[in-house]
Amino acid sequence: MTLNQEIQSVKQRFGIIGNAPALNHAIQIAIQVAPTDMTVLITGESGSGKESFSKIIHHLSTRKHGQFIAINCGGIPEGTIDSELFGHEKGSFTGAQDARKGYFEVTNGGTIFLDEIGDMPLGTQARLLRVLENGEFIRVGSSKVQKTDVRVVTATNVNLYEAVQKGKFREDLYYRLNTVPIYVPPLRERGADIELIFRKFASDFSEKYKTPPVRLDDEAKGLLIKYRFPGNIRQLRNFAEQMSVLETDREITAEQLKKYLPSESNLPALTSNGKKGDDFSERDILYKILFDMKKDMNDLKKLVYDSLQNESYGSQIINKHSDLFHSIGPVDEAAANKPAFVIHKNARDEDEDIEVVEDIDHSTDDINESLSLDEKEKEMILKALKKNHNKRKYAAQDLGISERTLYRKLKLYQIDENESNG
């Protein structure tokens, strides 16, 4: 069986829908790491389907006949999480009327999935590190060291590296958990997968409520794919269920769909979920807004200048107000090529964490600007690939971005890596 066939088989077995490259890459890593006992850190936004990957890893491993337990660390009170994970002795605290085994004891030989690991208290983190390093734990209220053989898979929707810097997460535990990272892409990065998943949900609710399935017309499909889905797959499922129950017309138009999509501003929401590889981080959005505004202003200035210069009355106005229009007239190419921003790499971050240091005001520099940011970025990617003989890892390092981000850029610009050899 080829790798692609194996990926498709896993999707069918675990009910995963879609063919987005980032999704397939995540499944591929899960398949490869499953037969080992390595710890895995699954990252991704809430509702993106991280638990499905923990199940893939368990059921394709040698521990598949052992027990699998999924635990939400954020849902257990700080005062009882040690008892839940490691057990306790009788009388060790108020209410402990009997001794109790913890999850690490009852799951011996199996797999524990610790979801929202970033919410785990620091004291419990120290206990977890001991289990990972030595396979040892101590029940609450006991002094006896016990052994366990458990495979640990963790997940988080927060940036653990930043949590380490803020002292909220142990650095040694972070590097111990991050042996094999798996990034699960948010729904908005999966393109046409959104419509496929919607159709699956519509079919499921059709059977549940004994009604014909709702369908989206072409305009509604386009609108659905463009929506950002901050709640990811859970939110899409809710949309499908609401429409299946409330809509009498089973052909859904864009206007009907808009009733179910929360109103959004024309500008992207400036939110940060703490994930370093996110293309929609606050910083990236600000860059896009600033550069788009700059381009729009230049286009407007050029339009006003050209229209006035080409009309007889415009020439009179220009002559009468020469000082005003001198500031928006064409300039030499040397000035136009000066950068609008000075940008520095922030060496503290491992990903593309950059910051604008200053904004240089060139009042007459961009009238005839011919290269778009996308064209320039594509050109730089091709140069980096050519320099590094199409090795993505080293090209990404030269560009100051992560290999994952470079992968997405190659798909975005439809770059065939053979182009860099041209």
Summarize pLDDT for 219-270 with one digit per residue, the tens.
999 999 999 999 999 999 999 999 999 999 999 999 999 999 886 544 444 4
> Has residue 277 been placed in a domain?
no
Q: Report the first-to-last Cα separation within the chain, whole angstroms.
A: 35
Q: Which residues of the chain have pLDDT under 70?
A: 263-292, 294-296, 299-373, 417-422
Q: Do 11 and 86 share a domain, yes or no?
A: yes
DSSP state of 344: E
> Has residue 142 been placed in a domain?
yes
Helix then strand then coil, % of the chain, to nearest 5: 50, 10, 40
Q: Do 100 and 112 share a domain, yes or no?
A: yes
Overall number of domains in the chain: 3
Q: Do 19 and 131 share a domain, yes or no?
A: yes
Q: Do 99 and 169 share a domain, yes or no?
A: yes
Q: Which of 258, 291, 314 is the last residue of a domain?
A: 258
> Has residue 251 been placed in a domain?
yes
CB count in 10 Å sphere of residue 159: 22
- Measured CA to CA, the distance from residue 363 to residue 316 in angstroms comes to 23
> Has residue 266 been placed in a domain?
no
- Measured CA to CA, the distance from residue 380 to residue 69 in angstroms comes to 46
> Has residue 270 been placed in a domain?
no
- Measured CA to CA, the distance from residue 335 to residue 328 in angstroms comes to 13
Q: Do 178 and 252 share a domain, yes or no?
A: no
Q: Do 76 and 181 share a domain, yes or no?
A: yes
- Measured CA to CA, the distance from residue 96 to residue 346 in angstroms comes to 50
Q: Which of 185, 205, 228 is the last residue of a domain?
A: 185
What's the token pair of residue 377? Answer: 């970025």
Q: Do 159 and 220 share a domain, yes or no?
A: no
Is the distance from CB of 186 to CB of 44 less than 8 angstroms?
Answer: yes
- Measured CA to CA, the distance from residue 372 to residue 103 in angstroms comes to 55
- Is this prediction's pTM over 0.85? no
Going by DSSP bridges, is the β-strand pair 136-138/354-359 parallel, antiparallel, or unpaired? unpaired
What's the token pair of residue 407? Answer: 């992968």
In terms of Cα–Cα distance, which of 398, 419, 395, 421 is closest to 407? Answer: 395
**Residue type at 5 in one-letter notation:** Q
> Has residue 274 been placed in a domain?
no
Is the distance from CB of 55 to CB of 15 less than 8 angstroms?
Answer: no
Q: What is the CATH classification number for the domain harbouring 233?
A: 1.10.8.60
How many whole angstroms from its chain centre is CA 284?
Answer: 13
| pLDDT tens by residue, 345-390 | 444 444 444 444 444 444 444 444 445 667 778 888 888 888 888 8
Q: Do 85 and 206 share a domain, yes or no?
A: no
- Measured CA to CA, the distance from residue 417 to residue 422 in angstroms comes to 10
Q: Do 19 and 151 share a domain, yes or no?
A: yes
> Has residue 354 been placed in a domain?
yes
- Measured CA to CA, the distance from residue 329 to residue 311 in angstroms comes to 16
Q: Do 74 and 118 share a domain, yes or no?
A: yes
> Has residue 264 been placed in a domain?
no
> If you search the block for the tokens 């402990």, which residue do you land on?
96
In Å, what is the CA distance from 227 to each residue of 19, 250, 275, 409, 413?
19, 21, 20, 20, 21
User: What is the extent of the structural domain holding 209?
Assistant: 189-258
Q: What is the CATH classification number for the domain harbouring 102?
A: 3.40.50.300
**pLDDT at site 378:** 84
Q: Based on the number of CB atoms within 10 Å of its own CB, is 408 exposed (0-12), middle (13-18) or buried (19 or more)?
A: middle
Q: Do 27 and 169 share a domain, yes or no?
A: yes
- Measured CA to CA, the distance from residue 298 to residue 366 in angstroms comes to 6
Q: Which of 158, 185, 212 is the last residue of a domain?
A: 185
Q: Do 7 and 109 share a domain, yes or no?
A: yes
